[in-house]
Amino acid sequence: MDKRDAVVREEFTRQADAMSTAALFNDETILDRIGEAAGLKAGSRALDVACGPGIVVEALARRGGEVVGCDITPAMLEKTRSRAAAASLDNVTCVPGRAEALPFENDYFDVVVSRSAVHHFSDPAAAIREMARVVRPGGRVITVDVMSAEAAQDSALHNALETLRDPSHVRMLPRTELHRTLAAAGLRVDSCVTWVNHREFGEWMKIVSAPERIEPLKIVMTALASSGVCAGIGLHLDNGRLLFDHTAGLTVASKP
């Protein structure tokens, strides 16, 4: 296990409980959007890359077919197994693996999904190439993630704040870069739906379960907001509360 993998496992072992119950990740509206985009039916095979605590895996498995959750963090795979068992779902399999080197055959899945994970991949282009490799011709690759601003300076500042919050963070991509990366992997971008998640500093920090990071980051973000620097996320103060917006996107791409 290299140093990067160790950081990811440490962070997500720490986050497993909080992520499992966080309202943001359990939003039924978003889970329904993912399920509808996946279009699963009896006999379908679906893969969730960097599946975390299995929230999307459960949502997909309830729609039928075979669903595989793949993650590098053992604690997350255990959460996925427990979640599937609690829901009496016998069509879920958990497989350890890295997004950049998926342990599956070519053209095996009908749909590949990855939510809130691309920004943690050390090489997002390699991970997306792997997703394209394991999905069958005519199948779909669905990515759901926060998108940074198109302006390079805003994007860099936003990502710096995210890294201070969570050292496993690498980079949230602008929408245009994500779509170029999908196209470079041989996929056709068919649609992209975006929405805004209104975030509050305390809620955002709670998910990472790292109280020692709260005060330093709060000081930095308060100084930025007080100076009118929005970091491409509408960062601002409202009666002493730090508020900002994350623009998320669900992108559906297909393999010719």
pLDDT band for 223, please (50, 70, 90 cuts).
very high
The tally of domains found in the chain comes to 1
- pTM of the shown model: 0.96
Does some domain include residue 217? no
Q: Which domain holds residue 75?
A: 3-148+168-198+246-254
Does some domain include residue 229? no
pLDDT in tens, 175-192: 999 999 999 999 999 999
Is the CA virtual torsion 32, 56, 108, 102 positive or negative?
positive
C-alpha dist (Å) from residue 154 to 67, 151, 251: 37, 5, 22
pLDDT in tens, 39-81: 998 899 999 999 999 999 999 999 999 999 999 999 999 999 9
Q: What is the pLDDT of residue 211?
A: 96
Tokens of 153: 């300076």
Q: Are 49 and 77 in contact (CB under 8 A)?
A: no
Q: Are 214 and 242 in contact (CB under 8 A)?
A: no
The helix/strand/coil state of 82 is: helix
C-alpha dist (Å) from residue 57 to 11, 61, 113, 155, 201: 21, 6, 9, 30, 28
Tokens of 44: 């379908």
Q: Report which of 148, 252, 130, 247 is spatially closest to residue 191, judged by C-alpha positions.
A: 252
Does some domain include residue 159? no
Does some domain include residue 92? yes
CATH number at 140 reads: 3.40.50.150
Q: Report which of 188, 190, 186, 156 is spatially closest to residue 173, judged by C-alpha positions.
A: 156
Tokens of 8: 């990811």
**C-alpha to C-alpha distance for 3 and 146, rounded to whole angstroms:** 25
Does some domain include residue 125? yes
Does some domain include residue 37? yes
Does some domain include residue 237? no
Give Cβ neighbours of residue 135 (< 8 Å, ≥ 6 apart): 47, 107, 108, 109, 110, 111, 112, 141, 255
Tokens of 211: 């109280």
pLDDT in tens, 109-164: 999 999 999 999 999 999 999 999 999 999 999 999 999 999 999 999 999 999 99
> Is the confidence at residue 1, as pLDDT, over 70?
no
Does some domain include residue 104? yes
Give Cβ neighbours of residue 147 (< 8 Å, ≥ 6 apart): 172, 173, 174, 175, 178, 194, 247, 248, 249
Q: What is the pLDDT of residue 17?
A: 95
Residue 150: CB atoms within 10 A of its CB come to: 12
